[in-house]
């Protein structure tokens, strides 16, 4: 955990740099000058030297998508490989911050430097804002030394990038890691086919929760829409409407056509264990692969990283079932 001496600050937009417009708070450029001016006012902080890069246009993170994730990866690799940076700080809006942290955890597997993501609940400069505390706190953490991998820095705490979720919209401690049971054998190594050097392409993915009254026609319409992977949010330990033969048939047919079907638990403290109930076993027989105790954010980001690398259905299911960066096991 070497101390950072040259940091890449990658600004994507989000609340931290927003300014007031006629329609309300909106993303704004020019954050580098504001950051340097604020740093000049800070006393007693030990911070690394840093360079600034900005993804244009800066966005509200509610508009985050896979293309933005790939742009972040490209900018991070350029900062490390071309500019000689030994750490990265990504400034990001909070609405999808956990999704991006999870996606980058898998898109940057094997990257030899630490990547922290941070943002704020209130814009920089607003009364009582948490922006500068989060930003400079993250810089100080990197200057002290952080292990390689993706983490989130928020409200004075480092959080695992592939385990964190946003749990509150009204407080500075908005992010946390729930004590979900982690399951899955750890991968012995990360092959080059899924590490940070592997090019990715956007992937048609979907998330579908089970709920009382869900119809086979709803599921079938989604599964036949050209989607390549579906994350199914199951009840409890991985159950669903197993008495619905048409629904199970739709799942089996989609799996036979190459669609990857992954299952997470809807319970915040839950994990998928198909064999506990017969209903879960039937879903497993339909082709679903268990995400164990992974969060929605982690499971979605992992599906994207694996399918986006061009892996086959069988290969995706193999690597999805293994722990790659601590997402499935403590």
Enter the tokens of residue 269.
């403290």
Among candidate residues 177, 209, 227, the one where a domain is terminated: 177
Enter the tokens of residue 186.
């750890």
pLDDT (0 to 100) of residue 330: 55
pLDDT (0 to 100) of residue 187: 87
- 134 contacts 119 by C-beta, under 8 angstroms: yes
Tell me the CA end-to-end span of the chain in Å, nearest whole number. Answer: 20
Residue 203 shares a structural domain with residue 170: no
Per-residue pLDDT for 276 more than 80? no
Residue 159 shares a structural domain with residue 196: no
Distance, in Å, from the CA atom of 102 to the CA atom of 87, rounded to the nearest integer, reads 18
Does 150 or 329 have the greater pLDDT score?
Answer: 150
- 174 contacts 121 by C-beta, under 8 angstroms: yes
Closest to 167 measured CA to CA, from 152, 181, 182: 152
Per-residue pLDDT for 282 more than 60? yes
Per-residue pLDDT for 279 more than 80? no
We report the CATH number of the domain holding residue 132 as 3.40.50.1170
Distance, in Å, from the CA atom of 254 to the CA atom of 228, rounded to the nearest integer, reads 9
Among candidate residues 143, 177, 211, the one where a domain is terminated: 177
Per-residue pLDDT for 196 more than 80? yes
* Residue 54 belongs to domain spanning: 6-177
Task: Please report which residue ranges of the chain form alpha helices under DSSP H.
Answer: 31-41, 66-81, 97-107, 131-144, 216-223, 245-256, 278-285, 296-308, 313-320
Contacts of 61 (CB under 8 A, 6+ apart): 12, 13, 14, 92, 93, 94, 95, 96, 97, 100, 119
Residue 218 shares a structural domain with residue 97: no
- 91 contacts 120 by C-beta, under 8 angstroms: no
- 14 contacts 72 by C-beta, under 8 angstroms: no
Count CB atoms within 10 A of the CB of residue 53.
18
Render pLDDT for 198-254 as a digit per residue (tens, 0 to 9): 999 999 999 999 999 999 999 999 999 999 999 999 998 889 898 899 999 999 999
C-alpha distances (whole Å) from 158 to each of 59, 85, 172, 191, 273 are: 24, 20, 14, 27, 29
Distance, in Å, from the CA atom of 270 to the CA atom of 274, rounded to the nearest integer, reads 12
pLDDT (0 to 100) of residue 148: 96
We report the CATH number of the domain holding residue 238 as 3.40.50.40
DSSP letter (8 states) at residue 11: E
Given 15, 94, 239, 295, the catalytic residue? 15
Residue 254 shares a structural domain with residue 125: no
Q: Coil, strand or helix: which one is 101?
A: helix
On whether residue 159 sits in a domain, the answer given is yes
* pTM across the whole model: 0.94
Residue 173 shares a structural domain with residue 196: no
Q: How many domains does the chain have?
A: 2
pLDDT classification of 18: cutoffs 50, 70, 90: confident
Residue 169 shares a structural domain with residue 196: no
pLDDT classification of 25: cutoffs 50, 70, 90: confident
Instruction: For the chain, give the mean pLDDT.
Output: 92
Closest to 154 measured CA to CA, from 127, 178, 126, 119: 119
pLDDT (0 to 100) of residue 297: 96
Q: Which residues pair with 6 in a beta bridge?
A: 49
Contacts of 270 (CB under 8 A, 6+ apart): 180, 236, 237, 293
Per-residue pLDDT for 262 more than 90? yes
Mark whether 15 is an active-site residue: yes
Contacts of 100 (CB under 8 A, 6+ apart): 61, 64, 68, 69, 72, 90, 92, 117
Distance, in Å, from the CA atom of 146 to the CA atom of 100, rounded to the nearest integer, reads 19
pLDDT (0 to 100) of residue 84: 97
pLDDT (0 to 100) of residue 300: 97
Range among 55-59, 121-125, 302-306 rated most confident: 302-306
pLDDT (0 to 100) of residue 183: 65
The mean per-residue pLDDT over the stretch 119-125 comes to: 93
Place of tokens 């209130």: 122
Residue 145 shares a structural domain with residue 281: no
pLDDT (0 to 100) of residue 237: 86
pLDDT (0 to 100) of residue 181: 64
Per-residue pLDDT for 131 more than 80? yes
pLDDT (0 to 100) of residue 271: 85
Q: Coil, strand or helix: which one is 107?
A: helix
Enter the tokens of residue 190.
């990360």
């Amino acid at each position: 955990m070497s101390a950072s001496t040259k940091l890449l600050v990658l600004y994507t937009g989000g609340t931290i740099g927003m300014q007031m417009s006629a329609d309300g708070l909106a993303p704004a450029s020019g954050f580098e000058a504001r950051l340097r001016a604020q740093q000049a006012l800070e006393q007693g902080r030990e911070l690394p030297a840093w360079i600034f890069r900005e993804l244009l246009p800066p966005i509200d993170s509610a508009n985050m998508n896979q293309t933005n994730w790939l742009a972040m990866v490209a900018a991070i690799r350029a900062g490390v490989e071309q500019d000689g940076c030994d750490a990265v700080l990504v400034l990001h809006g909070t609405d999808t911050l956990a999704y991006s942290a999870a996606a980058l955890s898998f898109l940057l597997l094997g990257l030899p430097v630490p990547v922290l993501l941070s943002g704020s609940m209130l814009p920089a400069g607003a009364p009582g804002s948490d922006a500068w505390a989060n930003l400079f706190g993250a810089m100080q953490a990197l200057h002290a030394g952080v292990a390689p991998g993706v983490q989130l820095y928020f409200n004075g705490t480092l959080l695992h990038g592939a385990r964190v979720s946003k749990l509150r919209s009204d407080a500075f401690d908005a992010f946390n890691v729930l004590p979900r049971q982690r399951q899955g054998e750890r991968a012995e190594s990360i092959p080059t086919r899924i590490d940070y050097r592997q090019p990715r392409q956007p992937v048609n993915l979907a998330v579908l929760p089970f709920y009382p009254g869900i119809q086979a026609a709803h599921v079938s319409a989604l599964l036949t829409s050209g989607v390549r992977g579906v994350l199914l949010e199951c009840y409890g330990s991985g159950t669903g409407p197993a008495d619905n033969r048409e629904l199970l048939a739709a799942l089996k047919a989609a799996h036979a056509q190459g669609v990857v079907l992954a299952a997470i638990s809807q319970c915040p403290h839950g994990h998928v264990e198909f064999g506990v109930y017969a209903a879960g076993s039937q879903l497993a027989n339909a082709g679903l692969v268990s995400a164990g105790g992974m969060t929605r954010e982690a499971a979605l980001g992992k599906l994207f990283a694996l399918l986006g690398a061009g892996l086959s259905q069988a290969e995706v299911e193999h690597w999805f079932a293994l722990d790659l960066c601590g997402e499935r096991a403590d």
